[in-house]
Chain A
């Protein structure tokens, strides 16, 4: 009994090792430019004046190289997205200066109002639940830092569009198929064997 189990697991382990070796070429997709795009989003989290006072130089450094790319992305967003609310919110978040904080809050609030009118009842229910949960968080966790950061994040970010969701799903599916293809050296879509570990023999049904 244990011998049979051992045989199966060893075969599967061999397949896993095959996957390990085949995983190496996929790591080449890493791009340095993408990492710079994501950094400012992380830096937005601590927006307290003390944090900006501690590291003013790094904040300016992080903001400057990203702004032209982000502008390009937001120029593309009105054509790609069907919902005008996301366009408004994305335009509002361009200005990162402290002087525009009030304007940013106003624009974000107006964007939220627009989305609520567009979507109807479901969105209102979700926001009410979010508010009640925030109240609970206030009562349970008296730490001011987490609450402020949570509120800022929830206000600043817009929901992903259907196109973005579809792109994410499609990219994931593509990676999964490629992984299978590399592992078993067989192209299911074209129904053709590829160069690799296995030798495929055609059978006549």
Chain B
């Protein structure tokens, strides 16, 4: 019986852990930790298969696609609210968009191309991740400059699927945060954590500085920031455990990303610009106000 226990201090699923100071450390069965670590390692390997090409941020800069990309991502977020989609679906659409743009590096990107691609990305993400679907007509109801016929969108979808190698089950920053955070907390803590983490992740998606980091790094950093705010007593213990199963370069990336995220979060709060990219465009918007 003693062989099943481990010496590590780990979070308990009882509510008392968050209400009181931890006086007696609670130990989990060792096989549960091992199972989590194996799953986490598999997800990290899987992440590599579904990333945009390297130097994607530079490519966006040189082709003036930073701002159009932000517009399109904001459209995804509007659609999420309008059609009551899950955040998992929206983050899949983000991933498809970035991968395609980095693979098919057209010399002359125009905004209508990006809108057509975005409609296809959202349509495929909905088919993949949602229970009930949306028609191509419904998707184009709001927020777009152009409208396309169904056959054009279907053609775009097929090209998108080829470009992605039909690998649609991407590991996104949201899926990492979901895996790491939600499985270890009581249900009544989910709502607070979920809304806060997803807000940070959406901001990170719009922020070009954050695009340098992998989804796993962004997801863990967002979780770290949120735990620091909502559950300070357990945050240190939890983060220490996560760090213990990572290598040094991953740790360095998370620490760097975490610092940047804290800085950007405070700046966003001061500017009162929600889901607004921190870029020269923001300066123009502030000037108008």
Does B associate with A?
A: yes
Residues of chain A having any CB pair with chain B under 8 Å: 2, 5-6, 9-10, 12-13, 16-17, 19-20, 23, 26-27, 29-32, 34-35, 37-39, 41-42, 46, 48, 50-51, 54, 126, 129-130, 133, 136-137, 145, 150, 153-154, 157, 159-160, 165, 168-169, 171-173, 175-176, 179
| Chain B residues whose C-beta falls within 8 Å of the C-beta of A34 in the assembled complex | 63, 107-108
B49 close to A (CB within 8 Å): yes
User: Contact at A30–B64, with CB atoms within 8 Å?
Assistant: no
Residue pair A31, B104 in contact (C-beta under 8 Å): no
* Number of cross-chain contacts by CB at 8 Å: 113
Task: Tell me which residues across on chain A come within 8 A of B106, comparing CB atoms.
Answer: 168, 171-172, 175
CB contacts (< 8 Å) of A29 on chain B: these are 105, 107
- Interface segment, one of B1-9, B139-147, B173-181, B195-203: B139-147
- Most A-side CB within 10 Å, residue of B109, B145, B285: B145
Chain B, Cβ-Cβ closest to A183? B165
A2 touches B145 (CB 8 A): no
Interface: B128 (CB within 8 A): no
Residues A54 and B287 in contact in the complex (CB < 8 Å), given A9-B46, A126-B147? yes
Contact mask for chain B residues 46-66; partner A; CB cutoff 8 A; 1 contact, 0 none: 101101011100010011100
Contact partner of A13 (CB less than 8 A), chosen from B48, B68, B116, is: B48
Inter-chain contact A129/B49, CB cutoff 8 Å:
no
Interface locus among B83-91, B154-162, B204-212, B259-267: B154-162
Query: Are B159 and A176 in contact, with the CB atoms below 8 A?
Result: yes
Q: Is the interface of A mostly helix, strand, loop or mixed?
A: helix
Complex contact A23–B63 (CB within 8 A): no
Alpha-carbon distance between A108 and B45 when the two chains are bound, in angstroms: 52
Q: Are A46 and B53 in contact (CB under 8 A)?
A: no
| B38 CB contact (under 8 Å) in A2, A153, A169 | A2
| Neighbour of B112 across the interface among A51, A136, A157, A179, CB < 8 A | A157
Interface membership of chain B positions 63-78, coded 1 if the CB is closer than 8 angstroms to chain A and 0 otherwise: 1100110000000000
- Which of chain B's residues have a CB closer than 8 A to the CB of A27? 55, 59, 105
| Inter-chain contact B62/A35, CB cutoff 8 Å | yes
User: B42, A9: Cβ atoms under 8 Å?
Assistant: yes
State whether the Cβ of B163 lies closer than 8 Å to any Cβ in chain A. Answer: yes
Please pick, from B49, B107, B108, B109, the residue contacting A16 in the complex, using a CB distance under 8 A.
B49
Specify which chain A residues have a CB less than 8 angstroms from the CB of B27 in the assembled complex: none
In the complex, chain A residues whose CB is within 8 Å of the CB of B55: 27
Find out whether the CB atom of B146 lies under 8 angstroms from the CB atom of A157. Answer: yes
- Are B146 and A160 neighbours in the complex by a CB distance under 8 Å? yes
Do B53 and A159 touch (CB < 8 A)? no
